[in-house]
Structure 1
Amino acid sequence: MSSRLLALLALSAWPLNGFCFSTPRGSKQPFLSYATSNNSSAPAYKDSSLCVNDRVEDLLQRMTLEEKAGQMFHAMLFMGPNGTLDEGSEAAFRNSTNFMLGDQFITHFNLVGDITDAKQSAEFYNLVQQRALETRLGIPITLSSDPRHHFTENIGTGFNAGRFSQWPETLGLAALRDVGLVQRFAEIAREEYLAVGLRAALHPQVDLSTEPRWARISGTFGEDSNLTAALLTAYIKGFQGEKFGSTSVSTVTKHFPGGGPMENGEDSHFTYGKNETYPGNNFNHHLIPFKAAVAVGARQMMPYYSRPIGTQYEPVGFSFNKEIVTDLLRNELGFEGVVVTDWGLITDTYIAGQYMPARAWGVEHLSELERAARILEAGCDQFGGETRPELIVQLVNEGVISEERINASVRKLLREKFILGLFDNPFVDPDAAARIVGNDYFTRLGNEAQRRSYTLLTNKNETLPLRNVGSETKFYIEGFNATLLQNRTYTVVDKPEDADYALLRLAAPYEPRPGGFESGFHAGSLEFSAEERARQETIYSKVPTIVDMMLDRPAAVPEVADQSVAMLASFGSSSEAFLDIIFGVAEPEGKLPYDLPRSNAAVEASKEDVPFDTKDPVFKFGHGLAYADRCGKTGCKTK
């Protein structure tokens, strides 16, 4: 290789990956000459025959400071009535779509709400994209999404599947230990995302669930670092494809450097949960999944809100923390992609009618302007959930932040758009979206995964499956609609004592929290109240009871395992899936993705950052039985 080519490589802004490298890092002008379009009437950045880096530099030099600042914000996008552009809401502190696109120059949006009509959603995406192309430079939007293929209804963590194929939560995928299935899920999710214009996934969530009380465990792969690393690798490959390009969905791996070790299990969305603590000196253990994400080519990373306690790092929120973002993530782990903050670090707001202060933990005393500066100085590229580009303009105009620093982040953000092909083909086909999203094949695979991910915890006297019960069998039920059993010709009764079996679908215990937003987080005690235990005990004493518990986080319920005749764990499933498992139409294949602790006291005595350290768990990681007729009288051995 010639010395001149080596010099060019050394000055390149990006590693070699099939794209040009003629623009040196930090330079306003290209290394050799300014890129020109083959079409003299069009600017070079619109010429698809040119190299990506040249197109980025051409566009960057044409942008005003205000247009650059707009790229650095990732806003929420709402659909207006009947698929129209959202007119905004002063009461909800929400700008109109027209204002965000035309006045604030924002082009990165997180789509809010369930998708129930794929064609309408695709048409809405095209409408927003068309509006973006009408701006001075015509920079296309990048539309992102929180997880939406599962059963989540908490707007702080994701959306229900709606029209998409519906799969178990990632905990359910972890219960199956099937790397190939995880990649297939991600490939299917990618096809459905692409069909409606979603080009960035605000996931995977790869935090380790070492603190069982934490309210965000449902989106993780569980407690084991090696299993998480293996599954997230397949997940990212499935969404991004073998080569990142025009058929990819960019992934945002979160929450760096691992949100699992929350003090007392509280969540850092809220003032009482701002601390992440490491009493076991186990900080590096939580980096294992993120190292795997960097190795497989993760495009974007999101730090969590928390501030580290008891570590070598400054106790300020991770996105404000240069030691975390620049020194650790970029310099030590070698991550070169986009760092986007979690939502709402600068501005106080209201969410679902609840007042939510900015999550500026450790730097609450700073002004909004100072918070923005601190985030940029830490090394973040984009502000999540904010629409405050005027702060960036002010910081540059006042000389606090250089425009070259802004350019460094905007380059990455624009480059992502170019590689995704958004400048060349920004629109989608609504009719194709209607055919692709939730098609019979995708739906069947999701339904099969729901059933397979069921985990059989106990099965006394080989009660399950109920294959030989007749239509005269009477059931007492809780947690699902009686018509589902009646459609299978069974009788549903109102009292446990009148039944042959009781079927209970129970949510894992939690302590309800107030507020429109906060109430969606299942936090607090892992035990049922004394009143609820007594109520359930009455049922168990009167009739053989089969329990399905939705474990969105570990539950401390030894009494349920002791008193029921069979206990199943599920991680996102329909009631039809539950009945198929009960009657032997399908069989449970899952293994627990975490330990199930014996009590709150055992959890309180454990260390938030250490996995598998609660005393005498009721069921250990990997526990899961199979039906006796498949694996013999004693069931399959757990792994």
Structure 2
Amino acid sequence: MDPADKAGMLFHMMVAVGEHSSGNSAFGIPSLVAMVRNRRMSHFNLLGEAPSGREFAAWHNEAQRIAAETGLGIPLTFSTDPRHAFTDNPGASILAGQFSQWPETLGFAAIGSPERLERFADVARQEYTAVGLRIALHPQIDLATEPRWSRISGTFGEDADLTSRLVVGYIRGFQGDELGTDSVATMVKHFPGGGPQKDGEDPHFAYGREQVYPGGAFDYHLKPFRAAIEAGATQMMPYYGMPVGTDMEEVGFGFNKGVITDLLREELGFDGIVCTDWGLLTDVTILGTPMPARAWGVESLSREERMLKALEAGVDQFGGELCTDVLLDLVAEGRVTEDRLDQSVRRLLREKFTMGLFDDPFVDEERAEAVVGAADFLAEGLAAQSDSLTLLTNTDSLLPLSRGVRLYAEGIDVDKLGAYATVVESPDEADVAILRIKAPFEERSGGFEAFFHAGSLEFPAVELERLTAIAEQVPTVIDVYLDRPAVLGGLEESAAALMADFGASDDAVLPVLFGERAPQGNLPFDLPRSMRAVEESRSDVAFDTADPTFRFGHGLRY
């Protein structure tokens, strides 16, 4: 391999499913052909979806043919953010599309079964491999100790022990007992644990760059990563955040040698691939919004100096970066040795060989058509959505409802509801009301930032009054989608029944409301009583808000 071949392997960029010769203007990404042929890149994070499993597989196979005809013919490795659930934050996940649809990660925490999670991961593995996806840019095993953080929906909640048990099933489902030709490699994130963000702000943005440990609970956040390494995780992603007020260097974890080399590699014994989170080196524009490089603590360094610092820290790949030319210049100048390149290239090539990509990089397009969104997978996903529903209150055993009841509804498909009840147009005509709502958040500016649900956990006063008025007029079931903990503001008392969901379709919720299935979930975090309690809690300490409305593990049955 010449230096250009080696340098290309150290970059893991996004590419959109679709045409191979066109780029993605929303993210400022060149075409796949250009990145493979001109930059010798061979690792890509797939954005978007295809209309069917067959078309997805066909797109993948054509991409592999392009790679086979370029240079040394190194096969491509395609990765993906989660794409089996409900959110559509392009910085965190992809809509399910043709794939089977399951609850969010929090929903599996509500179910609490490593075996059930392993089954999900095995299904996802089958769908991924059918279309050529071989790296899962997940699981996200950060701990939700700061209730305001906008990335909580991708976690297993607040408890380190539960997360540690669940991540083992997750990795086994995707990788098997060890990584092999039928595996999907897991890139565990975000080492050494995102979550304890100052004021709950996210380090995708400069105002959220500080990660704080006022309770001295750094080791608590490491517990799930120890379990993941023992379970055989082959890749690791450090987070953007920079530790503040500790004995660690105050630079982002992707630049932090004490964290990546001293802690992860030497103390914890991890010898897999370390890939940075996306966009540590280069300022870009995403969805029309300027996005400075997330080079927290090293903003004053040049792009070349940032790259050097990350390599010296021990990373193997730069996520979301294109600047192979910068690395080649550093090699030509002798500031990065080929021996240093080889350390990372060996890890990256080893994984391609282990997963069989050099033997056969192509997939069976007919099999992809049969596997992606298979009927039994869809049914299992729907059942998991139902089972993750968490019943918080049920005054006078209102639930389950009787069929044929006169019902007023909001946030639910009236056509689907009509199979269970007589739908009326106003609360004063109803025997019962069903309101499906979402946890509150403060809207931020447009573009990329708008996808992050952050800020206050309280419902706006006007909305709270409206919901309470309905609940006072007619017995009301409120189902609240919790992508973060919510301050319920008294809804737990005014609603006749209160249920939490973590990504569930109407088809999953209605059978539970009408008694065809029973709720099985338990809360994966505390629900704080007030914003004052949140603000006074320590961001790194679990279960630290005073007098929570509902405790971790709460969940009623009927």
| Partner deviation per Cα, 1:344-400 (whole Å, 9 max, x = no partner) | 001111222221110000111111111111110110000001111111101111121
Alignment of 1:173-322 (within 5 A): 173-322=108-257
SS of the aligned residue for 2:276 comes to strand
SS in 2 for 1:135: coil
Q: How far apart in 1 are the matches of 2:494 and 2:50? A: 41
Q: Given that residues 17 and 50 in structure 2 are in contact (C-alpha distance below 8 angstroms), is that contact kept between their aligned partners in structure 1?
A: no
Q: Look up the match of 2:551.
A: 620
State the shift of 1:493 in Å.
Answer: 2.4
Given that 1:558 and 1:618 are in contact with CA atoms closer than 8 Å, whether structure 2 keeps it comes out as no
In 2, the alpha carbon distance for the partners of 1:329 and 1:442 equals 36
Of the three residues 263, 266, 276, the one matched with 1:331 is 266
Answer yes or no: is 1:118 the counterpart of 2:53. yes
Q: 1:192, 1:519 → 2: CA distance?
A: 30
Cα distance per residue 1:564-612 (max 9 Å; x no partner): 0000011111012111111011110001111111011100000000000
Letter in 2 for 1:531: V
Q: Is the 8 A contact 2:17 2:49 kept in 1?
A: no
Matching residue of 2:468: 537
1:513 aligns with 2:448: no
For 1:90 and 1:443, the matched residues in 2 are separated by 33
Gaps of 5+ in 2: none
- Name the TM-score, length of structure 2 as normaliser: 0.99
Contact 2:12/2:41 (<8 A) preserved: yes
Q: Which amino acid aligns with 1:70?
A: G
Cα distance in structure 2, aligned partners of 1:439 and 1:538: 44
Aligned to 1:501: 432
> Does residue 1:166 correspond to 2:101, yes or no?
yes
Name the aligned partner's letter for residue 76 of structure 1. M
2:15–2:24: 8 Å Cα contact kept in structure 1?
Answer: no
Asked if the contact 1:254/1:303 (under 8 Å) is kept, the reply is yes
Structure 1 counterpart SS, 2:447: coil
**Structure 2 CA distance, aligned partners of 1:332 and 1:151?**
37
Structure 1 residues 444-463: aligned runs within 5 Å: 444-463=379-398
Q: Is the 8 A contact 2:178 2:232 kept in 1?
A: no
C-alpha distance in 2 between matches for 1:255 and 1:114 = 25
Unaligned runs of 5+ in 1: 1-62, 628-639
Please show how residues 44-123 of structure 1 align to structure 2 within 5 Å.
Answer: 63-80=1-18, 84-89=19-24, 92-123=27-58
Q: Mark the CA change 1:65 to 1:220 in structure 2 (over 3 Å): closer, same or farther.
A: same
Give 3-state SS (helix, strand or coil) of 1:464's partner: coil
Q: Any idea what the Cα deviations from partners look like across 1:51-104, whole Å, max 9, x if unmatched?
A: xxxxxxxxxxxx111111000000101123xxx314125675211111100010
Alpha-carbon distance in structure 2 between the residues aligned to 1:262 and 1:494 = 44
Candidates 490, 496, 500, aligned match of 1:565: 496
Identity %: 54
Provide the C-alpha distance between the structure 1 equivalents of 2:25 and 2:166, rounded to a whole number of angstroms.
42
Alpha-carbon distance in structure 2 between the residues aligned to 1:535 and 1:93: 43
Establish whether residue 464 from structure 1 lines up as the match of residue 402 from structure 2: no
Change (3 A) 1:86 1:475: farther
Q: How far apart are the structure 2 equivalents of 1:196 and 1:377? A: 36
Indicate whether 1:479 and 2:414 are aligned.
Answer: no
> Post-superposition shift, 1:485?
1.2
Q: Which amino acid in structure 2 is aligned with residue 606 of structure 1?
A: S
Moved more, 395-404 or 184-193: 395-404
CA separation in 2, counterparts of 1:233 and 1:350? Answer: 37
Q: Which amino acid aligns with 1:485?
A: L
TM-score (normalizing by structure 1):
0.86
After superposition, the C-alpha distances for 1:216-242 in whole angstroms (9 at most, x for unaligned) are: 000101111011001001100110011
Find the counterpart in structure 2 of residue 340 from structure 1: 275
Quick check: 1:115–1:161 contact (8 Å CA) kept in 2?
no
- Whether the 8 Å contact between 1:87 and 1:96 is mirrored in structure 2 is yes
Aligned-residue offset at 1:287: 0.4
Separation (CA, whole Å) in 2 of partners of 1:504 and 1:91: 35
TM-aligned CA deviation for residue 548 of structure 1:
0.6
Which residue does the alignment assign to 1:442? 377
- Cα deviation for residue 481 of structure 1 reads 1.8
Aligned: 1:391 with 2:326: yes
Q: Structure 1: which amino acid aligns with 2:10?
A: M
Aligned length: 558
- Secondary structure (helix, strand or coil) at the match of 2:263 reads helix
Residues 7-37 of structure 1: CA deviation (Å, up to 9, x unaligned) = xxxxxxxxxxxxxxxxxxxxxxxxxxxxxxx
Q: Which amino acid aligns with 2:486?
A: A
- In the aligned structure 1, how far is the partner of 2:519 from the partner of 2:50? 30
Q: Bigger relative contact order, structure 1 or 2, given CA contacts below 8 A and separation 6+?
A: 2
Q: Distance in 2 between matches of 1:253 and 1:120?
A: 29
The residue aligned with 2:515 is 584
Asked if 1 retains the 8 angstrom alpha-carbon contact of 2:459 and 2:489, the reply is no
Please state if 1:137 is matched with 2:72.
Answer: yes
Deviation at 1:474, TM superposition (A): 2.2
Task: Name the counterpart of 1:610.
Answer: 541
In 1, the alpha carbon distance for the partners of 2:428 and 2:469 equals 10
Task: Determine the C-alpha separation between the residues in 2 that align with 1:365 and 1:351.
Answer: 22
Aligned to 2:174, the other structure's residue is in SS state helix
Aligned-residue Cα RMSD (Å) equals 1.1
One-letter identity of the residue aligned with 1:311: T
Matches for 1:333-412 after TM superposition, within 5 Å:
333-412=268-347
Residue 91 and residue 77 in structure 1: after superposition, are their counterparts in 2 closer, same or farther (change >3 A)? closer
**Could you say which residue in structure 2 is the equivalent of 1:25?**
none
- Work out whether residues 114 and 148 of structure 1, in 8 Å CA contact, stay in contact via their aligned partners in 2: no
